[in-house]
Structures are given as C-alpha cells and as structure tokens.
Amino acid sequence: MIHAEAGRRGACVTASSRFAAEQGVVPGLSLAEARTLLDPACRNVPAHYEPHDPAADAAALRELAIGLQRFSPRVGIEGPDALALDIGGCAHLFGDEPGMARQVWQTLHRAGCRTRIAVAGTIGAAWGIARFTGERVTVVAVERAEGLLDPLPVEALRLSATTVGRLHRLDVRTVGRLRALPRESLPSRFGPEIVQRLDRLFGRGPELLEPVHSREPLEVGGEFAFPVADRQGLERVLQQLLAALVEQVRARREGILQLACRLGPEEGAAVEVVAGSSRPVDEVPRLWELLRLNLERTPLPEEIVAVRLRVVAAAPLGVHQHSLSGRDASREAGAEFDRLLDRLSSRLGSDAVLRPRLVPDAQPERACRFEPVDPARRTEVRPARRAGRDARDGGRDDGPGPVEPTGPTERPLYSWREPLPVEVVSIVPDGPPVRFRWQGRSHVIRSAWGPERIAAGWWRGPSVERDYYRVETEEGRRFWLYHDRRAESWRLHGSFE
Amino acid sequence: MTHIRPVPATIARLRRQLREWERSRGTPSPAATGRPAAVERSGATEVEAAERLFPGGCRAGSLVEWLAEGEGTGAATLALSCVETFLRNGGGRLIVVDDGDGGCGFHPPGLPPAIDPERIVVVRPRSVPDAWWVVEQSLRCRGVAVTLCRVRRADDRTLRRWQLAAEHGGGIGLLLRPSAARRGPSWADVRWLVEPLPCLSESHGRRWRLELLHCRGGTTLRAAPPGSAVELEQDHETGAVRVVSRLAAAETDCRAARA
C-alpha cells in the first residue's frame, strides 16, 4: 500500500508497506516509478494505492494519543508521526521504565503500528534516539545521554530541511560535530532555532508538552415534573434541546453526523432512536427533520418522564469556496441529493436505501451487491478493476470492485430474488425450452438464445450448474430461464422489463 | 348570460391550430406551458428512438408513463433508453423505487451500458404509502435527474402531487404502469402504450410497437396526435433502440387528423 500526494513533481509516495519498501518503493519516489516497481512484483494480489489524507492521519494519531492515556495522563503529539508521553511518576506503576516502554510498544503493536520507543530525559532526546537508533525500545540513563546523542545525525534535532541542507553542505552531519562549532556563531549562520533545539536536546532549555485531551461527550437532557403523553409537547421540548445541543456543537466548529435521542418512560426500558446524516449538519430544522422521521417509525412509550439527546458522531464542517458566478448548481444539487438520502434512510431505515455495486462474479445472484448509502454502514469502496481480468480469474475474487453492466440484451432488468420453479417442455433432453407454464398460463417460446452455462461457486460450498436461456414468447415477451443441472429442474430467474 | 357550448369541430380546429403553432415554434416556451423557467432544462437525446419519440429531448420536470401488460415487455428498458443522456451528461442521478413486487426486484446488471450503476440509488420501501412518499420526495429533489417506479395503482391526488413535485424538482419521473391505467386520467406529459412484438429472427433484435395515448403540448412524435404509433427495434449487439418505421395505420390516422 502506498500513500501518494500531489506535489510539484506530481503524485509522490509518502508511505509504503513493508513489502513495497522491499521492492524499493521509498517515500519521495514518484507514483509512476512506484507502479513500475510494484505492479510486476504483485502477482497474486493487486497492489493497492491510496491517496494521502493528512487529516485522517492526524485524527488517527490523536486517537492513538488518547488511547495511550492509560500509561500517562500527559500525552502530546510531536509532529505528524510521533507521540510524547510524560512518564514522570508513572513508570513504577508498570514495573520500571524499560517495562513500561515494552508495554507501550506491545499496545501499539497490537493496534497495528510499527513503532520505535525511546525513554530519555528530554522530549528532544527521546525523539532523536527513537528515530535514529535501530532499536525497538531504548532507555537512556541521564548520565550517558550525551554519549548517545553526539553520534546522532543533525536531523535528530528536528530542524527544518533548509537548515539540515545547509549543515550538510558544510559537512556537519552529527550533533557532536555541531556542538564542536562555536555556539555564538550558530544563530547568525543557521538561524535562531538551532541553538534552541540543541538546548532542548540536552535539557538546557524548556520544552512544553501540550497534552491531548479526550473530549467531553456532548449531551443535553432533562426530566419532566410529571409523565408527558402529549406528543406535540414532547416534540417542542426535543426541538429546544436540539437547539441547545447544536449551539454546543457549533462552538466546536463542528456538525452532527449521528444523533441519539433517548426517551425514558416512567417504568420499563428507555427507547433510543438514532438519526444520521451523510454530511456534518449544524442546522436545527434539518436535524429535527431527520430525528422526526426516525421517531415516526419507532414505537414510543405512552408516557415519557426523561429525554436526552446525545451526539454520537460529529465532524468538522466542510469549508468550500464560493464560485465567482454566484450559485454553484452542481454542488447544490449534490448537497440536496445527500439530504434526500438522509431523509429516506431516516424514515425507511439504512437497509432500504441502497447503492448497487456490480461485482465480477459469474453466479448471477451474486453479480450485484446492494450496500447501504448510510455512511455509518457504508463499506470501503475499492478502486476500479478490469472486468476482463476478473473474469479470467473465474470470478473467484468477490471483492466489491465496480464493473460494467452486462447490458439489457444479456441480462434482465428485473429478477426474482428467489428464482421461481416453472414447468418447462423441451423437445430434446437438456435442450432449449419450447414452452413453459407460469402463473397458470402456458407461454409458447418462439425464440431461445443459449445455453449460457454457468458453473461456479464450488469454493463457497455447494456449487451451481445452470444452463441459462433468454427466451422470447410468441407475444414478444422476454424471460430468463435456467435449467438447474444438479436438481434437474427449471426456474424462472428474470424478466427483460 | 350566453353559454357557449363547445362543439367537436371547434375543438378539433383549435387543437389543429395549437399543433401548427407549436410545430412552427418547436419546443414550447415556459410561458406557453405555464411552467416556471427553472424546470425547462432539457437534455438533447442521442439515442435515435429517444430523438424521434421526444424531439429536443425529454422535457425536464415532467412525468412520462409507460403502460404495458404483464411481465417481460421491455417497458423499463425503453424508458431508461430515452433518458440515457440525462444520466450520462451532467452526472445526473437515478433513483429506482423498487417495490419488489412478488419477489421480483431491480437487477442492475441489465442496465443499458451508458448508465453508470454508481449513479443509481435503489430504494426498497416496505409499504405502498412509503413507496409513494419516496417517489414524491425523489421527484421534488433537484439533485435527482430521473426517478423510476413501477406503479400498480395510484389515485389521482397522488399522481397530481407527483406532477407538481416533478415540476419543482426539475427531474423526470418514469412511471411503469399496467395497461389498464389507460382508462384513467393522466397527469403525465406523455403516456405511451408498449406492446412487445416477436423478433423477425434470432439474429434480429427485440421489437416493440409504441402507441402514443396522451401527450401534453404536442411535442412528442414530431407533433403527432394521440393514437400515432411507431415500431422500434433494439440492436441485438449494442442494445441501442432505434425507430424502424411509423406504422401505416398510424400514418393514415395522422394524415386524417391533420386534414
């Protein structure tokens, strides 16, 4: 897997899997070169390319930081790929410092992260040692820190690329060699940051660790003085609570993705209704519409004594640039379409609003999957693949890759989820049908195209062996029949509507 | 107070005048149809049949009814063929309201190749009122280009609501209805009766006879009157639908109507 981002040279690799790295795919390589190296090497499983998403990376790192708060209450983020833990006063709870570091490593390893950990007296020292020594876990005693830090490359000082380049041109490649230079001359030659970084590395200058805080859940609610049975009154209270909740969410410059409403009766279990949106929303009327549609299809307790609204998921509100011509019709249409899908999902349920995904499977009932459009239940969309190649593989890969429709001449536009048994007359055994009986009527077949033999699915258990025929009756109607070669029976699978 | 009783000859003369006027103008203006300009977005059709059936493109913000008796008639395929360009150009989205009647549901592998399945959303309502609500919501939404629905039975009020919703949303509603619906009033712009015909040979494509039952504004079938019919054929290889010929009987009717 390779992450690529659009740079001046086009798309470049920003991260790669271990396998890709073994093939020579390193960060900075252009995507075209990476493809040249990777595609021939990946024979069995096609290489997976993913665009770089810094916001998602930052969010994942933040989640990781919050997860590590079980080791220390003060966990900070250091750059795009490092975390700093202040373990002062915590290490003895996990044995000692090496024991604690090992436990942190194991936790991150279980989370699927490739990690290197260093325990040192300063954040700078821990950052440099973790990055530039090959060990998984390094614990540096204060008294031998200088000896370990001097051989480190100057990149360990967390300097800008320009400063590092300038130092390299002067052949100053290690921290030790940099320290050998007159300290007074450093700011004028390399900028003020270099002295500050050196001081922080050796603990002579202060460095603040800004801890990540896990967020307080957003929740509003209240209890009625007496049980409420009036639906309109309840709706008014819910709208007021929703407005208060939206105010809190707006203060964070976020919108609501998922909202839970809990209604507590005087006796018995509370009822929880969850409303979702495909995009973050901070408008009370729209959220209320989604919640109302969900409430309409949920049996509610007769009398309610407590109500509570809780934000299950929130996300930053999207910022978009207005077009020069004023209204952006396609954007507005897209947003309105999303709102429609939210409304439909709210009233009918997520499993009723579906997006078809054609998959390269020879078995007709598996050739199309319906996935909920609801983002909470939406599965990952993989990039397009060539239908031809998958067909050559025998359709064994049943991943949800989009493929072209087969077309209205080959496949029916409507099909029965459970093919219907029909009585069929053929002149020749295993031959094309000449007449079939369905819905109490006899249909005389005038033309038949086939057989299209489909034998597939043996790797899933009982395989299918079918001879499909497209038939046209003497009235010009077209149907899709098949002869089940295993069960020796005929079934009607679709109609060419 | 004088009562003017319309006589059939007067009505026929007025209809003829209206047709002549509209033919000379081409597609009627928003003022002529009395609809807001926002719904006058129309997609130029590339499919030959669609070009002949809807000169200048299907009118956006309208309903089109496709009447057919029983299963396997190909009415849905024809309906989608006529709105392909709406879905192809400009990234229009299609909502299919799939009632799953009798366990028979929408099957996307049978879509015309020009329609991208990625742009389709299939909605499976659990009851008829829910289905009608979905159709209305979908027609009312400006982000939906085409709404396809099988309508077994719907009252006038529902159909009128759909018509208004389509005018508001600017999309096209394709209603697949049984042929018995021809007896009821139509709120659609165009009402076609689809009759499948046996193909000429196994190497030939599928054929239909399409009869125009109702048409508002006379912009359909090159301003042919209701009762006109055409014969269509689907290409066996590509699935494209083209007009083979206008039927002789219909031609006669047409001439008679114009005389």
- CB-CB under 8 Å, A473 with B142: no
Question: Do A52 and A71 touch, CB atoms closer than 8 A?
Answer: no
At what angle are helices A231-251 and A284-296 packed, to 10 degrees? 140
Chain A residues closer than 8 Å to B72 by CB: 473, 477-479, 495-497
Question: Do A481 and A424 touch, CB atoms closer than 8 A?
Answer: yes
Look at phi and psi of residue B74 and say left if phi exceeds 0, alpha if psi is from -120 to 50, else beta: left
pLDDT given for residue B4 in this prediction? 53
Alpha-carbon gap, residue B119 to B128, rounded angstroms = 25
Residue A292 DSSP label: H
Closest Cα in chain A, distance from residue B142 (Å): 6
Question: Do B232 and B244 touch, CB atoms closer than 8 A?
Answer: yes
pLDDT band at A1 (very low <50, low <70, confident <90, very high): low
Averaged pLDDT, B5-32: 61
* Residue B191 sits at the chain A interface (C-beta within 8 Å): no
* Residue B106 sits at the chain A interface (C-beta within 8 Å): yes
Alpha-carbon gap, residue A495 to A415, rounded angstroms = 6
Chain A residues closer than 8 Å to B103 by CB: 416-418, 420
Widest CA span in chain B: 68
Indicate the residue type of A357: R
- CB-CB under 8 Å, A496 with B72: yes
* Residue B144 sits at the chain A interface (C-beta within 8 Å): yes
Indicate the residue type of A145: A
pLDDT given for residue B256 in this prediction? 37
The predicted-structure confidence for B154-176, as pLDDT tens digits, reads as follows 888 999 999 999 999 888 899 99
Which tokens hold the place of A472? Answer: 């046209």
What are the φ and ψ backbone dihedral angles of A375, each rounded to 5 degrees? -60, -30
Residue of B nearest to A363 (CA): B109
Chain A residues closer than 8 Å to B244 by CB: none
Question: Do B106 and A297 touch, CB atoms closer than 8 A?
Answer: no
Alpha-carbon gap, residue B218 to A382, rounded angstroms = 47
pLDDT band at A391 (very low <50, low <70, confident <90, very high): very low
- In the predicted structure, residue B137 carries a pLDDT above the cut 90: yes
pLDDT given for residue A309 in this prediction? 92
**b vs e for B76-103, b when ≥16 Cβ sit within 10 Å of the residue's Cβ?**
bbbbbbbbbbbbbeeebbbbbbbbbeee
- CB-CB under 8 Å, A414 with B104: yes
Find tokens 């609570």 and name the residue.
A241
pLDDT band at A4 (very low <50, low <70, confident <90, very high): low
Computed over its alpha carbons, how large is the radius of gyration of chain B?
18
pLDDT band at B252 (very low <50, low <70, confident <90, very high): very low
Secondary-structure breakdown of chain A: helix, strand, coil percentages, each rounded to the nearest 5: 35, 30, 35
Alpha-carbon gap, residue A396 to A32, rounded angstroms = 29
Alpha-carbon gap, residue B40 to B61, rounded angstroms = 7
Interface test with B, best of A332, A339, A340 (most B CBs within 10 A): A340
- Residue B197: which of A348, A402, A476 has the nearest Cβ? A476
pLDDT band at B123 (very low <50, low <70, confident <90, very high): very high
Out of A80-94, A185-199, B44-58, least confident range = B44-58
- In the predicted structure, residue A97 carries a pLDDT above the cut 60: yes
Percentage, residues of chain A above pLDDT 90: 9
**b vs e for A116-152, b when ≥16 Cβ sit within 10 Å of the residue's Cβ?**
bbbbbebbbbbbbbbbbbeeebbbbeeeebeebbeeb
The predicted-structure confidence for A152-176, as pLDDT tens digits, reads as follows 898 888 888 888 888 888 888 998 8
- CB-CB under 8 Å, B108 with A358: yes
Instruction: State the Cα torsion B151-B155-B160-B163 to the nearest 10°.
Output: 0
The predicted-structure confidence for A440-474, as pLDDT tens digits, reads as follows 888 999 888 878 888 887 777 778 889 999 999 99
Interface test with A, best of B71, B99, B120 (most A CBs within 10 A): B71
Mean pLDDT of chain B: 75
Chain A residues closer than 8 Å to B208 by CB: 476
pLDDT given for residue A42 in this prediction? 72
Question: Do B142 and B126 touch, CB atoms closer than 8 A?
Answer: no
Q: How many CB pairs under 8 A join A and B?
A: 182
- In the predicted structure, residue A208 carries a pLDDT above the cut 80: yes
Report the residue count for chain B: 259
pLDDT band at A8 (very low <50, low <70, confident <90, very high): low
Chain A residues closer than 8 Å to B71 by CB: 414, 477, 479, 495, 497
Three-state secondary structure string covering chain B? CCCCCCCHHHHHHHHHHHHHHHHHHCCCCHHHHCCCHHHHCECCCCCHHHHHHCCCCCECCEEEEEEECCCCCCHHHHHHHCCHHHHHHHHCCEEEECCCHHHEEECHHHCCCCCCHHHEEEECCCCHHHHHHHHHHHHHCCCCCEEEEECCCCCHHHHHHHHHHHHHHCCEEEEEEEHHHHHCCCCCCEEEEEEEECCCCCCCCCEEEEEEEEECCCCCCCCCCCCCEEEEEECCCCCCEEEEEECHHHHHHHHHHHC
Closest residue by Cα to residue A1 from A117, A114, A127: A114
Which tokens hold the place of B13? Answer: 């003369």
pLDDT given for residue B161 in this prediction? 93
Out of A78-87, A352-361, B195-204, least confident range = B195-204
Indicate the residue type of A5: E
* Residue, of B217 and A186, whose pLDDT is higher: A186
- In the predicted structure, residue A45 carries a pLDDT above the cut 80: no
pLDDT band at A183 (very low <50, low <70, confident <90, very high): confident
pLDDT given for residue A50 in this prediction? 79
Q: Which long-range contacts (CB under 8 A, 24 or more apart) does A109-115 make?
A: A111/A64, A111/A67, A113/A64, A114/A18
- CB-CB under 8 Å, A409 with B234: yes
Closest residue by Cα to residue B41 from B170, B174, B148, B146: B170
pLDDT given for residue B95 in this prediction? 93
Indicate the residue type of A34: A
Closest Cα in chain A, distance from residue B6 (Å): 42
Alpha-carbon gap, residue B194 to B70, rounded angstroms = 11
Instruction: Looking at mean pLDDT, say which of A44-53, A379-388, B149-158 comes out highest.
Output: B149-158
* Residue B117 sits at the chain A interface (C-beta within 8 Å): yes
The predicted-structure confidence for A123-138, as pLDDT tens digits, reads as follows 888 998 888 887 888 8
- Residue A337: which of B76, B93, B196 has the nearest Cβ? B93
Percentage, residues of chain A above pLDDT 70: 88
Averaged pLDDT, A241-269: 87
- CB-CB under 8 Å, A478 with B115: no
pLDDT band at A65 (very low <50, low <70, confident <90, very high): confident
pLDDT given for residue A31 in this prediction? 81
Chain B residues closer than 8 Å to A385 by CB: none
Widest CA span in chain A: 103
What are the φ and ψ backbone dihedral angles of B137, each rounded to 5 degrees? -60, -40
Burial of A198 from C-beta contacts in 10 A (0-12 / 13-18 / 19+): buried
pLDDT given for residue B218 in this prediction? 54
Closest residue by Cα to residue A234 from A301, A138, A315: A301
Residue of B nearest to A444 (CA): B198
Alpha-carbon gap, residue A183 to A198, rounded angstroms = 10
Residue of B nearest to A344 (CA): B134
Number of CB atoms found within 10 A of residue B217's CB: 17
Closest residue by Cα to residue A471 from B101, B133, B199, B87: B199
Number of CB atoms found within 10 A of residue B196's CB: 24
Number of CB atoms found within 10 A of residue A464's CB: 19
- Residue B202: which of A347, A447, A494 has the nearest Cβ? A447
Averaged pLDDT, A232-241: 90
Which tokens hold the place of A106? Answer: 């194991």
* Residue, of A49 and A294, whose pLDDT is higher: A294
Report cis status (omega within 30 of 0) of the bond before A451. yes
* Sequence-distant (≥ 6) Cβ neighbours of residue A451 within 8 angstroms: A432, A467, A468, A469, A483
Chain B residues closer than 8 Å to A337 by CB: 93, 141, 143-144
pLDDT given for residue B139 in this prediction? 93
Alpha-carbon gap, residue B57 to B82, rounded angstroms = 8
* Sequence-distant (≥ 6) Cβ neighbours of residue B78 within 8 angstroms: B49, B66, B192, B194, B208, B210, B232, B241
Look at phi and psi of residue A202 and say left if phi exceeds 0, alpha if psi is from -120 to 50, else beta: alpha
Number of CB atoms found within 10 A of residue A238's CB: 18
* Residue, of A389 and A253, whose pLDDT is higher: A253
Residue of A nearest to B122 (CA): A354
- CB-CB under 8 Å, A415 with B107: yes
Chain B residues closer than 8 Å to A415 by CB: 104-105, 107, 110
Residue of A nearest to B176 (CA): A497
pLDDT given for residue B52 in this prediction? 65
Chain A residues closer than 8 Å to B123 by CB: 344, 348, 352-354
Which tokens hold the place of A98? Answer: 């090496």
Closest Cα in chain A, distance from residue B72 (Å): 5
* Residue B128 sits at the chain A interface (C-beta within 8 Å): no
Angle subtended at Cα A352 by Cα A348 and Cα A353, rounded to the nearest 5 degrees: 100
Mean pLDDT of chain A: 82
Closest Cα in chain A, distance from residue B172 (Å): 15
Chain A residues closer than 8 Å to B135 by CB: none
The predicted-structure confidence for B35-57, as pLDDT tens digits, reads as follows 333 323 344 333 466 666 776 56
Look at phi and psi of residue A315 and say left if phi exceeds 0, alpha if psi is from -120 to 50, else beta: beta
Residue B95: strand pairing partners: B121, B147
- CB-CB under 8 Å, A336 with B176: no
Residue of B nearest to A402 (CA): B118
- In the predicted structure, residue A32 carries a pLDDT above the cut 90: no
Averaged pLDDT, A94-107: 88
* Residue B206 sits at the chain A interface (C-beta within 8 Å): yes
Chain A residues closer than 8 Å to B126 by CB: 348, 352
Alpha-carbon gap, residue A56 to B158, rounded angstroms = 46
